Amino acid sequence: MTIAMHKFGTILNSRPAGREAFLAFRPQLLHVLKSTEEIILDFQGVQVLTPSFADEFVTPLLEQYPGRVSFMHTQNITVRKTLEFLSEQWPKDAYDWKRDL
Amino acid sequence: MFFPDHPLFQRAFSWASAPVPPNLPPEEYCPVRDVLYGRLDSLLVSLIRKNIPEEKSLLLHAILSEIGGNSFDHNIGQWKDAPGVLFARTLDPTPFFILADRGQGIRRTLLPVKPSLANDEEALRTAFLEQLSSRAPERRGNGLKFVRRELLQDGIDLFFQSGTACYAVTSKEESWKSVPTSIPGCLAVLSFSR
């Protein structure tokens, strides 16, 4: 499953918006729960990502689906720096950077 | 760079520190989060039109979002009087940006989860240096650590005051000090050379 992050907005900077996005999307992840399908977060088209938004959206995904989440199109400076910053707190085997870093 | 004599700073400092908040120009007052974020999005367009490098503009937006968002996250239901933040900015000749709130300030925000905090400076150091959320057990407390790290890497300057404690980053060098005039909430000034 690929989640096109820009569909939540090109500026992903608010903690409430991150929480709301996660809660709204969570039902679509239910079938993933029963499989081993990978969850790809695609940041293409995202202009701004902050730790506040990512902490509410990405961190819970990693907690619920450890080892099955990967990131792509992370070249944007705020996407890259936010994910690098938060990844210091995430278990090393909970995510995959390899797609474009 | 820090502009204590600039009229924008004077007005922000006065609003943040006065016992009763003076009226602000409507374009500087953001009573709710959505107003602030709308103005930050508008700022992004202005920065790019002024030929500020895109990466610096995006990073500045993220930093302002984190600092401004903190005001709303940590003061909901706790405003001293006027809710929300002041957001003032100028792009010429030197871009600088001010955020201020009349909230409870860093020390009062952190005291419930770190009762040992002895003063404003200790609280400010905790906010910028330690992974500690004032909304435990919620997972928070990343915003100002992220801000500090990016300022030290990317050459955006900061002056930040809460209570009598000040933290500054100038040309990637950081410093801490206390000042005589207290601000109950928080005030932040960001700037960079063009």
Residue B148: per-residue pLDDT: 97
Q: Helix count (H) and strand count (E) of chain B?
A: 6, 5
Radius of gyration of chain B (CA): 16
Does the distance separating the beta carbons of A13 and B143 come in below 8 Å?
Answer: no
Per-residue pLDDT tens for A72-93? 999 999 999 999 999 998 888 8
Asked if B180 contacts B161 with a C-beta cutoff of 8 angstroms, the reply is: no
| Spatial distance between the Cα atoms of B136 and B146, rounded to a whole number of angstroms | 19
Q: Which amino acid is at B92?
A: D
Find the helix or strand (DSSP H, E) in which B118 lies.
Answer: none
Q: According to the model, what pLDDT value does residue A10 have?
A: 97
Q: List phi, psi (to 5°) of A93.
A: -95, 10
SS3 state of residue B168: strand
Closest to A50 (Cβ–Cβ): which among B65, B131, B149?
B65
Contact (Cβ atoms closer than 8 angstroms) between residue B8 and residue B90:
yes
In sign, the C-alpha dihedral spanning B165, B115, B186, B132 is positive
CB atoms A11 and B59 under 8 Å: no
Percent with pLDDT over 90 in chain B: 86
CB pairs under 8 A between A and B: 70
> Could you tell me the two tokens for B110?
């952190």
**A9 φ/ψ sector (left φ>0, alpha ψ -120 to 50, else beta):** left
Out of A25-34, B51-60, B143-152, least confident range: A25-34
pLDDT band, very low/low/confident/very high, at B137 (cuts 50, 70, 90):
low
Q: Are A60 and A23 in contact (CB under 8 A)?
A: no
Cα dist from A21 to A14, A46, A80, whole Å:
10, 14, 20
- Percentage of chain A surpassing pLDDT 90? 74
Positive or negative, the Cα torsion across B172, B177, B179, B182?
positive
Q: Do B59 and A16 touch (CB under 8 A)?
A: no
State the nearest Cα–Cα gap between B19 and chain A, in angstroms: 30
How far is Cα A68 from Cα B160, in angstroms, rounded to an integer? Answer: 40
User: What is the arithmetic mean of pLDDT over B111-134?
Assistant: 90
What was the pLDDT predicted at B66? 97
Q: What are phi and psi of B48, to 5 degrees?
A: -70, -35
pLDDT at residue B141, as a whole number: 66
Angle at the Cα of B186 from the Cα atoms of B113 and B122, rounded to 5 degrees? 45
Q: What is the mean pLDDT of residues B121-145?
A: 81
What tens digit of pLDDT does each residue of B144-180 get? 999 999 999 988 999 999 999 999 999 999 999 999 9
In this predicted model, what pLDDT tens digit does every residue of B1-18 receive, in sequence order?
678 889 999 999 999 999
The label of the residue with tokens 């705020």 reads A78
Asked if A76 has any chain B CB less than 8 Å from its own CB, the reply is: yes
Q: Are B179 and B169 in contact (CB under 8 A)?
A: no
Cut 0.90: pTM above it: yes
State how far Cα A32 lies from the chain centre. 15
Enter the tokens of residue B89: 């900015």
Percent of chain A with pLDDT over 70: 96
Single out the residue of B146, B141, B68 nearest to residue A80, CA to CA.
Answer: B146
In chain B, which residues have their Cβ closer than 8 Å to the Cβ of A51? Answer: 66, 142-143, 146
For the segment B112-128, the average pLDDT, to the nearest whole number, is 95
* For testing contact with chain A, the best of B33, B56, B60, B65 (most A CBs within 10 A): B65
**In the 8-state DSSP scheme, what is residue A98?**
T
In this structure, the number of other CB atoms found within 10 A of the CB of residue B87 comes to: 23
Predicted confidence (pLDDT) at residue A25 exceeds the cutoff of 80: yes
Residue A34 confidence class, pLDDT cut points 50, 70, 90: confident
pLDDT at B184: 96
A82 in Cβ contact with A51 (< 8 Å):
yes
